[in-house]
Amino acid sequence: MQLTINALSKTYSNGVQAIKNVSLTLNQGMFGLLGPNGAGKSSLMRTIATLQEADEGSVFLDGLDVLKQKTELRQLLGYLPQEFGVYPKISAEQMLDHIAQLKGVVNKGERKELIGYLLDKVNLAKDKKKNLGTYSGGMKQRFGIAQALMGNPKLIIVDEPTAGLDPAERNRFYNLLSELGENTIVILSTHIVEDVSTLCSNFAIICQGEVLYAGTPDNAVKDLNGKIYSKSIKKPEIQQYSKDFKVISTQLKSGDLYIRIYSETYPGNGFTQSLPDLEDVYFSNIIKRVDVNTI
Ligand code: ADP
């Protein structure tokens, strides 16, 4: 199964062009859509999920014309939106039962079995009677995955699912997501580089509506071999360093500023060569568009 996005564009009525000529090919497995806030990730996902129209371009899930065959696509889709509201005074079990009915599972016994399976999968079986309003952020996200998995989707879209989770919750959520990717196409949008390095076999960097990079995390990092240099400087020196070098990240370390720069050749100035990582890939791509200090 393959999702092919071809020359997709979308401009909102206020004139913001949120998606600019985006082309991507996604295979089974976990695909990370990485970009800063406002990059256009949600716009792209909502368009693929048929919740809004594109102005130009096409999206195909194998032979299915996603933008035209909306009903057919929705039957194959599991979607966890960025703002996933829950009814606070209803239990997880009741809510899933309701969703299952909406999805056309009419047989009560069948629904019970399905709900039991899903709650088990997202590790919420013991909390199934609790009202959703009492769930932690991580529990809500796991519940969100359970509802997205209803109906055995072939395409799963999860929009910024780890934002707001504490490290333990994020880990639990990673474990859950990593099991999904095998037989389905999972698109995960995030501004957190670790989400991609932990989970995704393929990814794209998107910024200001455009795809800046698409490939595997390994290759992306390899491409930067020998091109990342670092050193510690005094804070006020950053102005000059930003003028003289391509500073891709800065980090305060015991009062000094630890900076990493991109350079094709040895930059001198006491810099030492560093092993590149996916953060370097991300920042060296988006620095072309936005000031890293604003991210
Ligand atoms: P991301 O998900 O990467 O944070 P979005 O897709 O939400 O990015 O937003 C991309 C751009 O489109 C932003 O400039 C945002 O303000 C704008 N935008 C998003 N949704 C709408 C909308 N419904 N109407 C107008 N502008 C929007």
CA dist., res. 139 & res. 122, Å (int): 9
Q: Which is the closest atom of ligand 1 to the Cα of 43? A: 6
pLDDT of residue 288: 73
- Check if the beta carbon of residue 2 is closer than 8 Å to that of residue 51: no
Ligand 1 contact via 41 beta carbon (within 6 Å): yes
Residue 18 beta carbon below 6 angstroms from any ligand 1 atom: yes
Does residue 39 line the site of ligand 1, with CB under 6 A? Answer: yes
pLDDT tens sequence across 87-106: 889 999 999 999 899 888 88
Provide the token pair at 38: 């406002």
**Ligand 1 centre and the CA of 134: distance in Å?**
30
pTM exceeds 0.75 for this model: yes
Q: Which of 284, 276, 293 is closest to 207 using CA atoms?
A: 284
C-alpha 288 to ligand 1 mean position (Å): 20
CA of 217 to the centre of ligand 1 (A): 26
- Quote the ligand 1 centre to 219 CA distance (angstroms): 30
pLDDT the model gives residue 291? 62
Q: Tell me, in angstroms, the distance from the centre of ligand 1 to residue 192's CA.
A: 18
The tokens describing 47, both together, are 């368009």
* Ligand 1 and 16: CB distance under 6 A: yes
pLDDT digits (tens, 9 = 90+) for 18-73: 999 999 999 999 999 999 999 999 999 999 999 999 999 999 999 999 999 999 99
Residue 32 Cα to ligand 1 midpoint, Å, equals 18
Q: Phi, psi at residue 178, to the nearest 5°? A: -65, -20
Predicted confidence at residue 244, as pLDDT, reads: 94
Look at residue 178 in the predicted model and tell me its pLDDT: 83
Query: Mean pLDDT, 10 residues at a time, over the chain (295 residues)?
Result: 97 97 96 96 96 97 97 92 82 93 89 93 92 90 89 91 83 82 88 93 97 97 96 94 93 92 95 97 86 56
Nearest ligand 1 atom, CA 42? 2
pLDDT at site 105: 86
Supply the residue whose CA is at minimum distance from atom 15 of ligand 1.
38
Centroid of ligand 1 to alpha carbon of 156 (angstroms): 21
The ligand 1 atom at the shortest distance from the C-alpha of residue 209 is: 10
Cβ(12) – ligand 1 distance below 6 Å: yes
Q: Looking at domain 2-86+135-215, does it have CATH number 3.40.50.300? A: yes
Domain ranges within the chain, ordered by starting residue: 2-86+135-215, 222-294
* Residue located nearest, by CA, to atom 22 of ligand 1: 12
Ligand 1 centroid – CA 191 distance (Å): 14
The answer, yes or no, to whether any atom of ligand 1 lies below 6 A from the CB of 40, is: yes
